[in-house]
Amino acid sequence: MEPTAISIDMLKTAEGQSNAVFACVGSALQHAQRYEQALKFFIRTIGRMQPGGATEESVEALANHLEKQTLGRLLKRFNSKVKVSDPGIPKLLEDAVEKRNFLAHHFFLEREHLIAEEPGRFSLLSELAEMDELFEKAGNLTRAMGIVLEEVIEGTRKETKGPVVFTMEIKEA
């Protein structure tokens, strides 16, 4: 039997549907953590922009400090250092933080009753799929912005042809 067929068969039983809900929670949390790591990478990259260059010690100290920060604090720091021309991007990043906090702190507390019935389980799966997509998009976008910034700092960024999608203005490090 093909893996897709097994996955579809799994959704035919209450136990399989419940297991799918828990698997989707895991996937969503994985993408939320990748988003968090992308924010840390971006902020560390900004930290390298210090006048005269950053020392290895200062970069390491910043990395250690960032490991202790919540996702919300990381985004607040990002927003204090970066201005993005497309207002949809800061909104996407903020929505991802809010949804991640809901998933981590309230999802099962508020939705636990839905797992008892099939329509509720499918509702949970749909909601989790949307969260997963949001977290993945936020992480990929933030990581890509960090890579571009890193290339600019290192002088390896090549000019691209085509329309500008958005611009970033980095405030003083």
Count CB neighbours of 131 within 10 A. Answer: 24
Query: What is d(CA 6, CA 29) in angstroms, rounded to the nearest whole number?
Result: 24
pLDDT digits (tens, 9 = 90+) for 53-86: 777 888 888 889 999 999 999 999 999 999 999 9
Highest mean pLDDT among 7-21, 67-81, 158-172: 67-81
pLDDT of amino acid 3:
54
Residue 140 token pair:
């990929």
Percent of the chain exceeding pLDDT 90 equals 71
Query: What is d(CA 72, CA 70) in angstroms, rounded to the nearest whole number?
Result: 5
Give 42: exposed, middle or buried? Use CB within 10 Å, 0-12, 13-18, 19+: buried
- Asked if the model's pLDDT at residue 4 lies above 80, the reply is no
Inter-CA distances, 33 with 14, 26, 36, 83, Å: 29, 11, 5, 23
Percent of the chain exceeding pLDDT 70 equals 92
Ranges 14-23, 45-54, 69-78, 138-147: which has the least confidence: 45-54
- Asked if the model's pLDDT at residue 9 lies above 80, the reply is no
Write down the mean pLDDT value for the chain. Answer: 90
Highest mean pLDDT among 14-23, 46-55, 133-142: 133-142
Cβ distance 93 to 75 under 8 Å? yes
